Structure 1
């Protein structure tokens, strides 16, 4: 489980770096916008799933 969270944090950092880099150039291509929006949505879904898994294991289900 911790490996999944570790990789999720790494991907979050990578998405943040891409977003900051694109924002500082002043021109953000459409494909980067789509990629970042999809990445943020996927990140939120995976985070919720991992938290649910941790809570289920803690409660003994």
Structure 2
């Protein structure tokens, strides 16, 4: 049976998404863009949730 050569990649992609979410929050907090900040924080939240799902999806 062939092994999946990409089996170890989703946790790495998940951590990359989490770091991107942290960067989005940092940039949004720095800019103080008013109502656009809500959009930035929402985007960061969705990105972080997707990252956590990829990081921890193999735990049973």
Q: 1-side partners of 2:33 and 2:24: how far apart?
A: 12
1:18 equivalent to 2:24? Answer yes
Conserved? CA contact 2:20–2:47, under 8 Å: no
Higher helix share: 1
Per-residue CA distance 1:20-53 (angstroms, 9 max, x = gap): 111112225132122122223333344442322x
- Aligned partner of 2:3 in structure 1 is none
Q: Which runs of 5 or more residues in structure 1 are unaligned?
A: 53-61
RMSD over aligned CA atoms reads: 2.0
Question: If the length of structure 1 is used for normalisation, what is the TM-score?
Answer: 0.60
* Residues in 1 aligned to 2:13 and 2:29: alpha-carbon distance in whole angstroms: 24
Report what 1:9 is aligned to.
Answer: 15
Gaps of 5+ in 2: 1-6
